[in-house]
Structure 1
Amino acid sequence: IVPIYKAYLDRSTPPGTFVKQITAIDKDYMGNGNGLALYSISHSSKHSPVFQIDSRDGIISTMGNFNHYNDYEHLNLTVIASDLGSPSLSSTAVVLINLQGQAVKTNPPLTTNISIFQHSYYEVEVLENNEIPLELLKINMTSEFPYDHFRWTISIEEELDPVIKVNSLFEFDPKTSTLYALRSFDREQIAQYSLRLRADKVNRSGRKYAKITYPIVDERISSLEHNECRIVVRILDVNDNTPKFKSNGQPIVAVVPRSATFGYPVSEVMATDTDEGDNAEIRYRLLNEPARLFGINELNGKIRLINSVPTDERVYGFDVKAIDRCGSDDGRSSIANVFVYVIDESKEVRIVLAGKPIEVEQKIDALMTALSNAIQMDVRVRLLEPHIGGLEPATDAYIYAVDFRTNAVMEMEQLQESLSGLQFDALHLQQPYDQSNQYEQQPNQPYPNETGRSSMPRIIELSEFGQTPRNSQSHSASIGSLQIISIVLVSLCGVGAAVATICFMCFRQKRNFWSSSRQQEFPS
């Protein structure tokens, strides 16, 4: 039901006379524009407009003479109340104005025209990978202006690739006031387009147009001229990308010691998805793992042991599946191969590095890169722990290497031999520059090749193969405990023997004393 308002007006009323006040109520929140009602009048194209409305208060007043309406007894005025929401919602009311008094014979003065566009801002959402051509929206025009009197231009406000032309993306049909999309969009490349539609009169000497001023300051319609409107086209995401592992299709290789038990961290797999929202939420699952030795955290991809490592196997293989859309059945997925090698802790390669473990951990990647380049293998760290002994703080780094060609773990004896032939001091001098530390040379300052290198821990020594102070330590600790227990037991036995000897001597002395006392009492 369209509400109807009534008003009475004399034909001789001068411009600026109050006619009626219209009120619309929007229960949405006003702070973001959703609950702010703005008023406008739908003018007829037959005559020049004689009424205007305050866009905020809804007060209707006259803005011209009624010389064209001498034959009319009443006028119907259509008022539109719309908000600034996205999309904008609107309602319509009719004001029935009864004209009274004598006919107006004065010539009408020059009046100002209204804006070309009924709304200065539009938003539209469209799914990516759309079919073309696609109708995006119809733009409301003021019927006062014939479309063929204007030259219509559309432009993109953002900076795009200069090869891409706006005419190849969008097209506006002034006959139907319709905006079309001419290309299938890809949200991963461009997620939003901000368009500006402009209408210029063919005859530049024509009349000027009044600009609608809204009662609020809205950045969405700022910097727009009276003959322009802004159209924001948002590209919605479609799940058209599969998760990609950071291993780039290569198997993931990890090692575990044979003494590892429940909860031991094995590796961490990570996949990324260029979609957004739920389409980019990835969950991880294990496949083809009959040994039931490994488990994975479905949220972060961390793989851990869920049982003790058997003594008869050297390598385990299984798959990790990454599924987007939170692991749902309709999600896209990809699979990575994982190989876990079991190593003997008594045959590990250990290097001693200068610095505490927390300091070494921050720089160890640069050292592993340098060693990998030196021996043409992928050198990795399995464990860092404090070094026992020495005059300076040091760290024991237990390392292993993976062959780039076969993705197999290199034999520890071969890795020890390869590292033994390296000059570690020369390796430290050959490390790559850290580009972020480059600077202009100042007077009396060293060159960048002395201070601009990426820092990495200094190698103190390469330990002898099979020398594991960590295990020896625990062995020594266990031997020390047995020795203490033996000493305590021997001591207890000695104390017991001494107490038994004293008791026996005391008892023997008392028995001799009793015998001598009886002989004195009963002489023979």
Structure 2
Amino acid sequence: MSLHSVKASDKDSGNNARISYFLEDSQLNGMSASAYFSVNAESGEILAVRSFDYEQTKEFHIRVKAQDGGSPPLSSNVTVKILIQDQNDNPPQVLYPVQTGGSLVAEMVPRSADVGYLVTKVVAVDVDSGQNAWLSYKLQKATDRALFEVGLQNGEIRTIRQVTDKDAVKQRLTVIVEDNGQPSRSATVIVNVAVADSFPEVLSEFTDFTHDKEYNDNLTFYLVLALAVVSFLFITYVGGTGTMKQAISYEVYGTTDSRMSDIKCPRPFNAQTRYSIPEELKQGSVVGNLAKDLGLVVSELYRRKLRITSEAGKQYFNVDLGKGELVVIDRIDREELCGQRPSCLLPLELVIDNPLQLHRVEIEILDTNDNSPSFLTNEKVLKIAELANPGTRFLLESAQDPDVGHNSVRSYLISKNDHFKLTVKNHKDGRKIPELVLEKPLDREKLPVHNLILTAVDGGDPVRSGTSEITVIVLDNNDNAPQFEKQVYEANVSEKATPGTEILHVKATDSDEGLNGEIKYLFAEQTTYLILSLFDIEPSTGVIIVKGMLDHETNPLLRFDITAKDKGNPEMDGHCGVEIKIVDINDNIPEIIVTSLTTPVPEDSAVGTVIALISAKDPDSGNNGKITLSVSSKSPFKLNPSVSNHYSLVTNGPLDRETNNQYSVKISATDAGKPPLSSEKIILVELLDVNDNPPVFSHPSYVVYVKENHAPGKILCSVSATDPDSGDNAKISYSILDSKVQDVSVSSYVYINSDNGSIYSMHSFDYEKLKVFQIQVQAKDQGSPSLSSNTTVHVFILDQNDNAPAVIYPSSAALGSLSHQRMPRTAKAGHLVTKVTAVDADSGHNAWISYKLAEATDTSLFTVNLYTGEVRTKRAASEQDDSSQRLLIEIKDDGEPVQSATVTVSILMEDGLHEPILDLRHKVAEPKQENWENHPLFDSLSGLGVRVISGDFSHLSG
């Protein structure tokens, strides 16, 4: 079988230029190259001497030598790369369920299974490549076809309705696996399903099911790379280049339901991945496994809220978050999306939260030959003068094919005839323009009309074509056609040019005279409506002017043809091409796009935390389309550039919600045009409160005065604290810290309302027992973790006049058997008889004591000092005075109301005393400790002395 021909040339002559071709010996797969190929020595034709197996060897490299017949002979070598194309010669192989020597183990399905329950998955591979390895799964037979379905692309067996008690326990499914080759090959697998909730129930129905212990554990998995190859061989020699007829095209596909990407870049922010898919893929087709290619964990895709944004506006893809696969969700027409552009890319942006990431994905849409070439006019009338010379060329309408590359128009054919042939003129922009060439002179008298069929053929597989009928009318006279000075005219015009602006001047000449030499200019017949709406031409001068509104962003380059016709009979015409470049003007304001925004932002966010992902675009070109983004300098944020025109807005300093609870961040976008254009966007960033402030009391400490004997449960005071945080972080609860007051917990004395800070007494206080104590109050917020602060409340007990004066002296208990005060009858006025001593347990005015003589046997004889309680004689005693005197002394305090006490003093006047008065004083000054030293008020008497001052007792000494 002939594979290809190599061709070499030699500038010498004779034998020196006679070339012979040889196959150089080399090793291919351990065998000589001659075991696979041979070369015709004269023609250079390469022949296959055996068949090939794509699965064993996919390509060969052989070297061919071209040697001349000179002496000595000269030679050169070339390497020929031979690519083996895959044929569908292998059926699919089922990897799971495993076919064993015994019965198949049943897959369990509970009777509670709902719609869509995954029973199992059939997994198969095909060692072929390309479309020959694309597998589809179908349910061929089933016990109950209404209960199960099989995924066409993934082989998943799922329930299509709710399982009921009426469904048979034993279900048998036959699944057929087919590849996409021509002809297709297939394999079948039987899946047994047990509809039951327990294993014993299964055993009762599946008694013939056994477990084969010797099933093959060493399964072989295949990585099948589908390489769809069209050979492209080169041979080079000194002085020229030979080229094969076909071009190389590679596509890489997975063998199951995943089409793998050819680029991986799993970096956290500016990762870019590209997939290549053909247009017109069915909805649900898998483009690739994004989770695998980007290094993402499938189970976290829901939590991280993976989503797609597309700059194309319309969404053609979606992500199956359960599998991490990118799937097609709408029809993709490459011609609709990209027109005639050689490369068709759909950019996608994948946004993922927690942490925030952006991945750029490009989907390259590969053209398929789904459009046939077509002509704007299906019929064309061509008038040719009878005197036209052989070799005269007539420009024909070129066909249009929305496809690109090999799938676009590749060649033209003309129906068989005796007078015309067809040539094709290649423009530098790649267009092929058919020209009708006159080969034999025309004779109007013999054949006035020639009917031809022009066929345009594309280079797709299968080949598509379109036709146009050419009617050639043969006319007499006018044998010179107008000739343009240039084949192609080029000009530049600003997109802001106003209608009427002159662009360029095309000029043609005609060597005929008279009307046959007068020329008028017009657009060619196949000129599109777009060109006719944008430009106009002056018929007599050939000046092309602006007619409509030009837009560089929509049509940067416009091409069309101009026809120059003379006025002869028949008319003769000439043609030229026009290329007009629309010069860009900075007429588009940059657009700021917020791809993702995280708000509110915790106020304790670290510097560098990503707040938003921002991109910018400007449809202008060159410097007019170069964009610079900036952020207002007063905000604690900055922009970090990423991939082209993509930025992340990050924190650039500390945030404090208590100072600013939100920021209006102004983003400015400015292009590099002259003058530059700019736009702004305000991003509102709210701050989320963090518990970073403890409660603060209104006073560092509190002083409270409380009267003793007040009613229990009475409010003593209220403390108050504030917290500048918000929400739960600002909700304050109050509590009393445990401490001791007189060895008793302070909580026994007071309690506090946790909501408002009011402090209440648990019982009344006794000033005489407790005069002052402290309370430690804590205010705690409800943040996490909570913060707190303390304050001290000083409680002072105010005295009330609740104690009457207590007489310490004279005391009958202290005096023992002595019940009378003695005084000499010779006592003179002012004689100190005795001193009444009393104390009051209260304090202040309530403890100020006064003494008053209330009653007396003889009021003229004695007096009592108001403040000291001293009992003295007012006059000298006389013999007439009774020897026994009784005094009732009233003791009062200064409180409100007044409290009082009385004491009775008996005085015995004697002429002489048998016992010295000093002894009496000692007895009085030393009362029995057990009687009054432990009096409750004794501790309040500081340095109190009881003095008994005697008068002149000298007369008693004798």
What range is the shorter-chain TM-score in?
0.3 to 0.5
TM-score normalised according to structure 1 size: 0.42
The structure whose residues are more often strand, as a share, is: 2
Structure number with the bigger relative contact order (C-alpha 8 A, sep ≥ 6) is 1
* CA radius of gyration, larger in: 2
TM-score normalised according to structure 2 size: 0.25
The structure whose residues are more often helix, as a share, is: 1
